[in-house]
């Protein structure tokens, strides 16, 4: 049996374009511009640090918007492979056919329930901590989402193409509050105040460190038993594009990273100072609000080098995340019993977010 990978690529790209056409409005103007820039670089096979003339990008964006306008009312198409039709979200079925040819198909729902699709070459496959991890190379089809890693079906996926773009953006746009931690991480990579050229030359080393963090985040999420995955998915599906969804994702991420096999525990176990610096540098959003103890602990660690300080802070973060998960789950269940989802949303926001707003 053979497969026509060019035809499969065309079909997956069509679903990517349909998803982008229907969900581009989820993003702010700035957020959409950054995602379009990454998509442009991917489509034109550009390294993350190469920036083309704005006129070239604007012309490409105009063409892309024309395409989206034509596809705005379309529905995702089933994939036709060797005379069989697969639902566009049947990743397990599609991969059973294409994985022997070293291709991987990804399909699912991301933030705000945006459908997301992916087709890429498989570079290698490993068992890490009892989990199957796919290392993907060249991406043949992708949408607006530059996600470095994800869980799907029974495995974990590291998207090397996307991870390179994602990490370069994180470094380029690191917030002022994260700059010292970034400098700390780079120093422990042997880069003290690197020039742009030195940063590019050593980017592979930094990416390797971050890839370990990305993988262990996914392992931690799969291993988490505190925030029931079924309940979590119900909450995300019930409140898309709301503070409740953002809170649920932040809590799940925090449980993953602070859990026994998560990113932070792995960093501690390996005593990887560079990885810790990068983690803190890029730590942002609600996770940072829920877990401010990490920043305090890192400041002490940067002076003392005492890993116990970090270990104790991570335990505090895990307990906080567990409490928030239990609060969200209980409120959601009670809202269902009352048949009042609005009550549940308000209860969750009051319990988790009011204190943050006051700060």
Rounded mean pLDDT for each run of 10 residues along the chain, 359 residues in total: 95 98 94 94 96 91 96 96 97 98 97 96 97 98 97 96 97 96 97 93 97 98 95 96 96 98 97 98 96 97 98 98 97 96 96 71
H or E element at residue 322:
helix 307-338
Residue 85 three-state SS? strand
Judged on CB neighbours under 10 Å (0-12, 13-18, 19+), 111 is middle
pTM of the predicted model as reported, rounded to 2 decimal places: 0.95
Confidence (pLDDT) at 355: 64
Identify the CA nearest to 255 among candidates 287, 301, 230, 212: 287
Count of helices and strands (H, E) across the chain:
17, 7
CB 72 within 8 A of CB 21: yes
Identify the CA nearest to 111 among candidates 146, 76, 77: 146
Confidence (pLDDT) at 358: 47
């Amino acid at each position: 049996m053979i497969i026509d990978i060019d035809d499969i690529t065309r079909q997956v790209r069509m679903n990517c374009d349909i998803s982008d056409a229907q969900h581009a409005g989820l993003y702010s103007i700035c957020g959409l511009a950054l995602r379009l820039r990454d998509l442009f670089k991917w489509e034109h096979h550009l390294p993350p640090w190469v920036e083309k003339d704005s006129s070239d990008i604007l012309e490409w964006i105009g063409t892309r918007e024309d395409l989206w306008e034509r596809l705005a009312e379309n529905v995702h198409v089933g994939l036709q492979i060797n005379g069989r039709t697969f639902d566009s979200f049947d990743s397990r079925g599609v991969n059973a056919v294409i994985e022997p040819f070293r291709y991987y198909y990804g399909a699912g729902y991301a933030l705000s329930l945006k459908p997301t699709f992916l087709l890429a070459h498989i570079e290698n496959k490993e068992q890490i901590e009892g989990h199957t991890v796919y290392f993907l190379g060249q991406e043949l089809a992708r949408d607006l989402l530059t996600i470095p890693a994800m869980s799907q079906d029974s495995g974990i996926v590291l998207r090397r193409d996307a991870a390179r773009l994602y990490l370069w953006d994180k470094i380029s746009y690191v917030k002022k509050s994260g700059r010292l931690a970034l400098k700390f991480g780079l120093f422990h990579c042997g880069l003290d105040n690197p020039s742009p050229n030195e940063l590019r030359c050593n980017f592979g080393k930094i990416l390797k460190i971050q890839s370990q963090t990305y993988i262990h985040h996914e392992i931690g999420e799969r291993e988490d038993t505190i925030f029931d995955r079924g309940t979590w998915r119900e909450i995300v599906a019930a409140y898309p594009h709301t503070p409740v969804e953002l809170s649920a994702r932040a809590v799940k991420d925090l449980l993953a990273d602070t859990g026994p096999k998560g990113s932070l525990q792995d960093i501690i176990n390996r005593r990887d100072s560079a990885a810790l610096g990068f983690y803190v540098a890029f730590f942002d959003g609600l996770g940072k609000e829920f877990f401010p103890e990490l920043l305090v602990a890192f400041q002490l660690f940067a002076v003392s080098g005492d890993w116990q300080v970090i270990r104790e802070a991570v335990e505090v973060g895990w307990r906080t995340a567990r409490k928030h998960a239990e609060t969200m789950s209980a409120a959601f269940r009670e809202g269902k019993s009352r048949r009042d989802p609005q009550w549940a949303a308000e209860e969750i926001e009051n319990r988790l977010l009011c204190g943050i707003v006051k700060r």
